[in-house]
Structure 1
Amino acid sequence: MLKDFRFPMIAASLLVLILSGCFLQGGPSAMKMEQNTSSSEYVRLLPGELFIKEHLTNDNLTLKTNMKPATSNDPNVAKGTETLSESLGLWMLYAVEKGDKALFAQNVEVMKAYDYQDGWIAWKAGGENETPVSTNALVDDLRIAEALYIAGEKWGDETYIQLANEVGQSIVENQSREGLLVDFYDRHYKVTSDSLTLSYLNASAVQLMEKHQQVSKELNNQVHSFLSMLPTKNGFFPFSYQLGSKEYVYHQEVNLIDQLYIGYHRAQVGVSSPELWAFLKDEFARKGLLYGRYDASTKQPLVTYESPAVYSLAILTASELKDYTFARDLYERMVRQQIRRPESEFYGGYVDMSQMDTHSFDNLLPLLAERRLFNEGTLQ
């Protein structure tokens, strides 16, 4: 069960408005300013953060999966007010990137109240039915551990390091097989996955786990080597790796989010992905955009939509590769999908107005990417 962390959100928002002053009008860079509680410096309060706090936050401070109320009979799908460990980790990473101690501390309390058991974190929780799940997601647990380690080191808070160690210990004890990590652990059935979704393998987080003596040097080296030596087919990475058969699985329909997560995780540990990067840059140069899915053989788009999450991951990867011009070009395309009119009810959101809905993932990742660009000076 999730504990209730209700507080007067409206009053808090008004206080931020009073402290931060008025909106700065002016197109894509319109934003507010707020004082960093840990220093006398002021930081930009980005429109996306306002939107998430106002439209994607539950009363108990967990993040909704969707803005629009919805339920699902499929236990493998999250909808509406159900909250994801994915969202929690991205929100925590954003708080660190922003340097917001209060937001980070708030989310640590949310994590503890979440379905958290000795470092194991349920992949979803909450919702109207609040039926507990018994599995986690490797990618989310690694992301949360990464955020905790970075925050602990940045702010000198040993409690965050200890929490990260707990998450790391759970991963090693339950999801380490044959020198690799696997997708999930089912606490109810005591079953471990026999496959690794390659976009889940966050080698940067594993490096931090080794630094803090939660994984062996051998496991860290194996993860790094495995990620560095991934094969490609027609320039695209496989989707997963089956430990039993030791075979890679490729999908004919390529989701760029999966490809970019692999590329980003490689870039974080100093490994480039030249074939994928060349394809993305060529596609963007020719068409001025990136689509969400492509045919693995023809490299032609299979959908007509653009995804803010795709642009976000491409921006984060470009930042790691120091390809700052491309990062800015991607950003300019991405924010065309964002509601930038301060008078709009949904100001700052990446909302599908035809459905009057949006997913937390499509707002958290763009916010994280935008904050990164400001921090590194690509955006002023």
Structure 2
Amino acid sequence: MKKILILLMILPTIVLAGCSKKSDVKVSEPDMSTSNFLNSSNYGDYSTQNKLLYKFVTNKMLTKEGIYTNYKETKNQSNVATGHEMLSESSGLWLEYLVYTKQYKKFREFYKQTKNTFDQGDQFSYRYDPNTKKKSNVNATLDDLRIIRSLQMYAQATKSSKYKKEAATRFAKLKSGSIPNGKLVDFYDTKAKKSSSTGSLAYYDFKTLKYFESTSSKEKKYYKKQLKVVQNGYLGDAFPLYSSSYDWGQGSYSSKDLNTSEALETVLHLSEVGKVKKVTLNWLERQVKQRKLYNTYTINGSVVDKDQSTGSYALAAMIFANAKNEKMYKYTMKIMWSSQVTDDSSPIYGALGVKHLKQAYSFNNLYGLIASKY
């Protein structure tokens, strides 16, 4: 079997479109049931592997400011976070995991730290460099939604009215720049005071959007439109995934190659609201069984990059769990765990990583932790 490699998520470069962001926001707390925010299948017991992975993350990746993007320190790059830079993506995933594992005090402490590191008032910067103490001027809408989801998960689990209000307030603030009039886009630039014109379909966190957009008939229409935008990005039964992004200005979908982890995040979000297609699940099952869940495809389904990502297998496992396919969940988790470093002399012992390169990315390791709790 080809060694499973890691994949680093890249924030796409997008043309900015004018958008004035307002500081005054109206906060409406949803009344609808939130019971599905904490659902889990309990299909597998991965306590042994999970214990090693958790220890690696807390001892080697977690800091007072956030979580390293990669265990291995590398030279910084302008277009992508590397090495010991930090992403709000990682913080959101870690916050979710802390709720799943009922570590409520640590959740409160880490959320406070997350705000100290990434908060820009109405949104969270997507990227922070601990060496220069600088954070990016832009957010990544999915990362904000993930943090907001974790706040609501905590509020539900602990019956906290304080955190329920915090979640609703953060969503209300996020909307003006990143979801103006229901049009979800990739980011808002706090310096240029403009929003991007396109939205990655992976960024449509439908479970979170559905909940927070349930407060009025207008908001509910926004949600239906968002769902339609993603569903209309379907590439067809021959290659049953979705386009990478939608341009609100042009009214068109991207024809760029698909980053598989991002493509599977799109499918995961659909699966969380019961909108995943059977043909998509069948395709995913075939790829997993053949150990051919490759990193990059063209929109026609041709393979571009035959390397594979541990994070993709974690996402696939979560999708199977949502589809109540226990057999495929366990099968996929077995593949995911095969990338765990079990040599206790290695500096990345316990990580989902590449031993000889001493590389372990936060995306893979954090999604691995969350998948193990599904």
TM-score range, shorter chain: 0.7 to 0.9
Which structure is higher in RCO with an 8 Å CA cutoff and minimum separation 6? 2
Give deviations 1:57-111, integer Å, cap 9, x for gaps.
22x251111111223141x321222211000000011111112212211221112
Contact (CA 8 Å) 1:203, 1:265: kept in 2 or not?
A: yes
Q: Is the 8 A contact 2:348 2:355 kept in 1?
A: no
CA–CA separation in structure 2 for the residues paired with 1:90 and 1:315 = 16
- Find out whether 1:335 has 2:337 as its counterpart: yes
Contact 2:261 2:312 in 1 (8 A): yes
Which position in structure 1 is the counterpart of 2:364?
Answer: 362
Aligned counterpart in structure 2 of residue 50 of structure 1, from 25, 50, 55: 55
Q: Distance in 2 between matches of 1:30 and 1:344?
A: 21
1:132 alignment counterpart = 135
| C-alpha distance after superposition, 1:289-343 (max 9, x if no partner) | 522223443x454333221100011011111111111011001111111113556
Map Cα deviations across residues 221-269 of structure 1 (whole Å, 9 max, x no partner): 3223333443324423111101111001122x33211221111000111
Distance 1:293 1:67, change over 3 A: same
Listed as ranges, the matches of 1:150-189 within 5 Å are 150-177=153-180, 179-189=182-192
Equivalents in 2 of 1:215, 1:57: separation in Å? 41
Partner residue, 1:306: 308
Q: Which amino acid aligns with 2:281?
A: W
- Within the candidate set 247, 250, 262, 1:258 is matched to 262
Q: Distance in 2 between matches of 1:87 and 1:153?
A: 22
Tell me by how many angstroms 1:344 deviates. Answer: 4.7
What is the alpha-carbon distance in structure 1 between the residues aligned to residue 72 and residue 303 of structure 2? 29
Deviation at 1:207, TM superposition (A): 1.7
Match of 1:86 among 81, 86, 89: 89
Report the Cα distance in structure 2 between the residues aligned to 1:215 and 1:62, rounded to whole angstroms: 37
**Kept in 2: contact 1:152–1:159 (CA 8 A):** yes
Q: Which residue of 2 aligns with 1:283?
A: 287
CA, structure 1 residues 110+347, in 2 after alignment: closer, same or farther (shift >3 Å)? same
8 Å CA contact 1:118–1:166 kept in 2: the answer is no
SS of the residue 1:371 aligns to? coil
Q: Summarize deviations over 1:336-378 as a string: whole Å, max 9, x none.
A: 1111355654332012223212211111011110122xxxxxx
State whether residues 200 and 246 of structure 2, in contact with CA within 8 Å, keep that contact through their aligned partners in structure 1. yes
Contact 1:115-1:121 at 8 Å conserved across structures: yes
Distance 1:154 1:238, change over 3 A: same
- TM superposition shift of 1:156: 1.1
Tell me what 1:31 maps to: 48
What secondary structure is seen at the aligned counterpart in 2 of 1:349?
coil
Is the Cα–Cα contact under 8 Å of residues 178 and 188 in structure 2 kept in the other structure?
Answer: yes
Paired position in structure 2 for 1:69: 73
Residue type of the alignment partner of 2:269: H
1:122 corresponding residue in structure 2: 125
Contact 2:65 2:117 in 1 (8 A): no
> Identical aligned pairs, as a percentage?
22
8 A contact 2:348–2:360 mirrored in 1 = no
**Distance of 2:200 and 2:219 partners within structure 1:** 22
**Structure 2 letter corresponding to 1:48:** L
Match of 1:325, as an amino acid? K
TM-score by length of 2: 0.81
CA distance in 2, matches of 1:302, 1:66: 24
Relative to structure 1, is the Cα distance of residues 71 and 164 closer, same or farther in structure 2, using a 3 angstrom cutoff?
farther
What displacement does 1:158 show? 2.1
Larger Rg: 1
Q: Secondary structure at 1:117's aligned position in 2? A: coil
SS at match of 1:196: strand
Equivalent residues of 2:46, 2:372 under 8 A apart: no
Q: Is the 8 A contact 1:168 1:214 kept in 2?
A: no
Q: Which consecutive residues of structure 1, in runs of 5 or more, have no partner in the other structure?
A: 1-27, 33-44, 373-380
Alignment check: 8 A CA contact 1:119 1:163 kept: no
Amino acid at match of 1:92: L
Root-mean-square deviation (CA), in Å?
A: 2.3
Q: Does 1:240 align with 2:245?
A: yes
Name the structure 1 match of 2:111: 108
Q: In structure 1, the residue corresponding to 2:258 is in which secondary structure?
A: strand
- 1:95 partner letter: L
Q: How many Å apart are 1:118 and its aligned residue?
A: 2.8
Is the 8 Å Cα contact of residues 233 and 253 (structure 2) preserved in structure 1?
no
Distance 1:224 1:29 in 2: 34
> 2:60 corresponds to which letter in structure 1?
H
SS across alignment from 2:349: coil
Retained in 2: the 8 A contact 1:30–1:340? no
Q: Which residue does 1:199 correspond to in 2?
A: 202
Q: What code does the residue aligned with 2:362 have?
A: S
Partner secondary structure for residue 279 of structure 1: helix
For 2:356, what is the secondary structure of its paired residue?
coil
Rounded to whole Å, the distance in 1 between the matches of 2:245 and 2:368 is 25
Distance change (3 Å), C-alpha of 1:178 and 1:51: same
Normalization by structure 1: what TM-score? 0.80
Letter in 1 for 2:363: F
Instruction: Measure the CA separation in 1 of the matches of 2:349 and 2:181.
Output: 48
